Amino acid sequence: MVNGNSEEEVKDTAATDAEPEAEVVDAEIVEEADSPEPSGDEASEEASAEATVAKAKEEAAEWQGKYLRLHAEWDTYRRRMKEQREEESRRATEKLVEDIIPVLDDFERSIDYANENGEEGLLGGVTAVYAKLNEVLVKEGVEIIDPVGQPYEALEAQAVATVDNPNVPDETVEQVYQKGYRMGNKVIRPAMVTVAVGGPKRETDEEEDNE
């Protein structure tokens, strides 16, 4: 009798232990049943949202590219306008210098005349005005070309005559009849000069370097 009861108790215990496992399995099945697969409409909406985001990113990149191009074009435009204004200013100054130079020539002739004829009063006034005009030109970057005693340079001087002079190197500027003017790298007017010839040949830069 004792053994019979023990077997029944073991069976009841096993059945009791199996019930929670069955409940857990049933709960998992219920949870899976409660989590339905996304419907076709939801998947379509998600794909549409992703496409919208991708398009927005593409448009943003396109606008950024346009902005960078416009910024570069604006910088180029400003640089060109600045260069154009500087060029116009330089040309205007050159024109002014060209107009003033003949006036300076007249002043120089007047000064020479006053010196030769003892016109001290006239000489003082003319000399002061002449000096003032030269100051204006110097302020604008104008330099006087007065190459007496220097090697003749065809780019800065125009030879109107030659004179024999064996005491100075060949092709040395002997006398300046009319001064020249230079503004920056541009010669506004070359000097009018006489050039000495017949003297010893002047050494070139290459010959000096070889020595």
Between 14-23, 84-93, 139-148, the lowest mean confidence (pLDDT) is in 14-23
Shared domain check, 127 and 67:
yes
Bridge partners for 161 per DSSP? 194
Within-domain flag for 171: yes
Residue 37's pLDDT is 55
Shared domain check, 160 and 84:
no
Mean per-residue pLDDT, 121-125: 76
Shared domain check, 131 and 68:
yes
Within-domain flag for 110: yes
Shared domain check, 67 and 126:
yes
**Tens-place pLDDT, residues 85-113:** 888 888 888 888 888 888 888 888 888 88
The domain boundary, picked from 103, 135, 167, lies at 135
**For the chain, how long is the longest CA-to-CA vector?**
168
Within-domain flag for 29: no
The domain boundary, picked from 107, 135, 163, lies at 135
Between 2-6, 47-51, 78-82, 157-161, the lowest mean confidence (pLDDT) is in 2-6
What is the CB neighbour count within 10 angstroms for residue 140?
A: 14
Residue 193: left if φ>0, alpha if ψ -120 to 50, beta else—which one? beta
Q: Which of 165, 170, 173 is nearest to 190 (CA)?
A: 173
- Confidence check: pLDDT of 24 > 60: no
Within-domain flag for 21: no
Q: Which of 145, 149, 146 is nearest to 186 (CA)?
A: 145
Q: Are 179 and 97 in contact (CB under 8 A)?
A: no
Shared domain check, 90 and 118:
yes
The domain boundary, picked from 119, 135, 151, lies at 135
Q: Are 133 and 145 in contact (CB under 8 A)?
A: no
Q: Which of 201, 200, 182 is nearest to 98 (CA)?
A: 182
How far is residue 168 from each of residues 152, 154, 160, 175, measured CA to CA in Å?
12, 18, 19, 13
Shared domain check, 76 and 57:
yes
| H, E, C per residue of 154-209 | CCCEEEEEEEECCCCCCCEEEEEEECEEEECCEEEECEEEEEEECCCCCCCHHHHH
Shared domain check, 148 and 126:
no
Residue 152 domain boundaries: 141-202
Tell me the C-alpha distance between 137 and 144, whole Å.
Answer: 9
Q: Residue with structure tokens 């002061």?
A: 128
Shared domain check, 148 and 128:
no
CATH number of the domain where residue 191 is located: 2.30.22.10
Within-domain flag for 22: no
Tell me the C-alpha distance between 114 and 103, whole Å.
Answer: 16
Residue 173's pLDDT is 95
Number of domains in the chain: 2
Shared domain check, 120 and 60:
yes
Within-domain flag for 25: no
Within-domain flag for 44: no
Within-domain flag for 88: yes
- Confidence check: pLDDT of 8 > 60: no
Shared domain check, 128 and 61:
yes
